[in-house]
């Protein structure tokens, strides 16, 4: 579950970087949200490589909503040790989706 969560956060981070590259004017807004993803990736383990074809805020919002659902579902099945971290990740993605 932790590895899957890391994969989702890496994908999100790559998506933010992809959208920022495509639309630099959005960088001030998106960089703060992307910083949260970088914190998550660093906390979850050794980062691998991820790429993204995301180009729009709508695509980012959908990815965040999907991650919120996946993290939340995992939090409901996880051990007591891991569940709080996954629940917090779900809340972080739901929060980001709310402002994209």
List interacting residues with other proteins (CB under 8 A).
32-33, 35-36, 39-40, 68, 72, 75-76, 80, 83-84, 87-88, 90-92, 94-96, 98-99
Q: How many CB atoms lie within 10 A of CB 92?
A: 21
CB closer to other proteins out of 54 and 67 = 67
**Shortest spacing between CB 7 and other proteins, in angstroms:** 18
Whether 44 contacts 11, CB under 8 Å: no
Q: Provide the token pair at 49.
A: 């490589």
| In the complex, minimum distance from the CB of residue 91 to other proteins, in angstroms, rounded to a whole number | 4
Smallest distance, other proteins to C-beta of residue 58, A: 18
Instruction: End-to-end CA distance of the chain: give it in Å, rounded.
Output: 26
Q: Is residue 73 within 8 Å of 86, Cβ to Cβ?
A: no
């Amino acid at each position: 579950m932790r590895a899957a969560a890391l994969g989702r956060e890496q994908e999100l981070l790559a998506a933010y970087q992809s959208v920022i590259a495509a639309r630099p004017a959005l960088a001030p807004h998106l960089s703060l949200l992307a910083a949260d993803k970088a914190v998550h990736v660093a906390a979850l383990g050794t980062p691998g490589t991820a790429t993204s074809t995301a180009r729009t805020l709508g695509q980012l919002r959908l990815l965040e909503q999907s991650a919120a659902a996946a993290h939340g579902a995992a939090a409901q099945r996880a051990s007591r040790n891991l569940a709080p971290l996954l629940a917090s990740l779900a809340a972080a993605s739901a929060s980001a989706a709310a402002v994209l």
